[in-house]
Structure 1
């Protein structure tokens, strides 16, 4: 049962810090799931992240997969499914409850100066959290100079050009498939 309690504590707390979406808390999720609890390896975490980003649906699909991996040793497939459900509920319910409560108050403070200040302050916070996520994921997925170079080239293409990101991802996938990186 301690694994399930650890999932509730981890994802319940991450839920309340996830400004900008679930990907904003990836560094902390990675630290806890890989280095502290050892539910996954770096490579497994990077793989789960990739899968969760390529499937349709919300960006927090990785939460259910991490919960599944954590629950597998506890109770096999059923333990994994229970871990996935617990992790997902723990990630969604606290944030949803907080958003609901704040929304009631936020609507009444529409013209307040501090509301505008809070909104402007959350933008750089969110950008910083997402950049930290990108750094953690590149470290988890990249293991030699070639993969770091591919990540850097793709990032420059994303930032500097209007090429469809799917084309860049497809090309990078082909490069990886043929073992060039």
Structure 2
């Protein structure tokens, strides 16, 4: 049991020193596999059940708020709890350490990918991983759909979103905003169709008294005030403007780094429904518009993102690294430097809004402790996300099964590997990491034996 825990469940553990919390958040950054569901489960097990830093009710109250925000909800939840326990710096440290290990791991993998991706063993691993990714994306659509598509209205929104992005090629932001508007209007007139399915209901368990318990008064720093709201808003906007100004002064508005900062700021504000939902938007921009990377590299980005700890949205770090490598901003003899700076820029602008949202809205949420509204727009957006993810799965399947395009031969081995991965995930509920590793091993064996 934690050193500061009290064996008597009726009394709360002693307050946790900031340094001890820092070590926990760092450890979490290295073990946070399994996507948002897995990451939230790890935090619940550690912070609610074992360490009793926060009660079940307060944990779910914070989580419900994070689910309403654009951005990675697990990282935002860590930021929220860190802020609640140790003020602003507690939130910043918790949120940063949640993704920092993943950043360095992905930078290392991206370097190996760009420098040695043509080596047969590496190429074989990537070849075997891609079919597994197709199965994983299909399962993501199935899982979200199972939770969301509870009635014909939700099914209709999902189908319309699929047609909008697949047939009409509408931009992802337009689809999100339209779905949100439909949800807002529908929630007012037909609320029974827009109840958020499979949400996080009221807490029903107690694991003993917690440091931040159900009836623990809101800490002074977490109380809502208009003055603090203005300070956080001005601070966040100033930080964003300063970063953009530095990039513009050094590289101009059309420079690769500046455009990455601008593009991934927009992407960060559109990640309702998780990373899978925003990937089509990242694809539209990074692959089709800016051409920072090609479709195959985009699939590889997701494959590597699935195998590392941290939020899945960290695939943008890989996208930035490849983009910086390709654009050669610092010249052909400094590819790694260009790539590293690009990855840093992309990661900074992707996560900055998440910190601002938590520090901005946290005091209001803590002060109210009531049921959150606005779930109808989120419900409609999540339904639209299902259609968008189905399109993403088809996009990946097309590039994996037919690498040379419609006129080329079908890669039947990739089809077979996707089928095996699908059976493992859908029927046997196999761990995603294990499925990816198995695909990589089979791909490497095939490549070396062929």
Is 1:110 aligned to 2:365, yes or no? no
Is 1:154 aligned to 2:382, yes or no? no
In structure 1, the residue matched to 2:279 is 26
In structure 1, the residue matched to 2:441 is 174
Q: Distance between the aligned counterparts of 2:381 and 2:269, measured in 1?
A: 14
Q: Distance between the aligned counterparts of 1:131 and 1:101, measured in 2?
A: 34
In structure 1, the residue matched to 2:351 is 92
Is 1:101 aligned to 2:360, yes or no? yes
CA drift at 1:11: 0.6
Q: More displaced, 73-82 or 101-110? A: 101-110
Contact 2:307 2:433 in 1 (8 A): no
Q: Distance between the aligned counterparts of 1:122 and 1:100, measured in 2?
A: 24
In structure 1, the residue matched to 2:47 is none
1:24-44 Cα deviation digits (max 9, x unpaired): 211121222222212212222
Residues 131 and 65 of structure 1: is their aligned pair in 2 closer, same or farther, counting only changes over 3 Å? same
CA drift at 1:81: 1.3
Contact 1:68 1:81 in 2 (8 A): yes
Q: Distance between the aligned counterparts of 2:400 and 2:362, measured in 1?
A: 38
Contact 2:261 2:346 in 1 (8 A): yes
Q: Which residues of 2 match residues 72-91 of structure 1 at below 5 A?
A: 72=325, 73-75=328-330, 76-91=335-350
CA drift at 1:140: 4.0
Higher relative contact order (CA 8 A, sep 6+): 2
Residues 103 and 121 of structure 1: is their aligned pair in 2 closer, same or farther, counting only changes over 3 Å? farther
Residues 104 and 42 of structure 1: is their aligned pair in 2 closer, same or farther, counting only changes over 3 Å? same
Q: TM-score, normalised by structure 2?
A: 0.35
Residues 103 and 26 of structure 1: is their aligned pair in 2 closer, same or farther, counting only changes over 3 Å? same
Q: Distance between the aligned counterparts of 2:359 and 2:392, measured in 1?
A: 26
Q: Distance between the aligned counterparts of 2:298 and 2:358, measured in 1?
A: 28
Contact 1:25 1:133 in 2 (8 A): no
Q: Which residues of 2 match residues 4-15 of structure 1 at below 5 A?
A: 4-15=257-268
Q: TM-score, normalised by structure 1?
A: 0.78
Larger of the two Rg values belongs to structure: 2
In structure 1, the residue matched to 2:304 is 51
Residues 139 and 110 of structure 1: is their aligned pair in 2 closer, same or farther, counting only changes over 3 Å? farther
Residues 164 and 85 of structure 1: is their aligned pair in 2 closer, same or farther, counting only changes over 3 Å? closer
Q: Distance between the aligned counterparts of 1:157 and 1:163, measured in 2?
A: 5
Q: Distance between the aligned counterparts of 2:357 and 2:389, measured in 1?
A: 21
Give the secondary-structure state (helix, strand or coil) at the position aligned to 2:446.
coil
Contact 1:45 1:140 in 2 (8 A): no
Q: CA RMSD in A?
A: 2.9
Give the secondary-structure state (helix, strand or coil) at the position aligned to 1:85.
helix
Residues 91 and 110 of structure 1: is their aligned pair in 2 closer, same or farther, counting only changes over 3 Å? same
Q: Distance between the aligned counterparts of 2:295 and 2:304, measured in 1?
A: 14
Q: Distance between the aligned counterparts of 1:132 and 1:36, measured in 2?
A: 18
Number of paired residues? Answer: 180
Q: Distance between the aligned counterparts of 2:363 and 2:396, measured in 1?
A: 36
CA drift at 1:68: 1.8
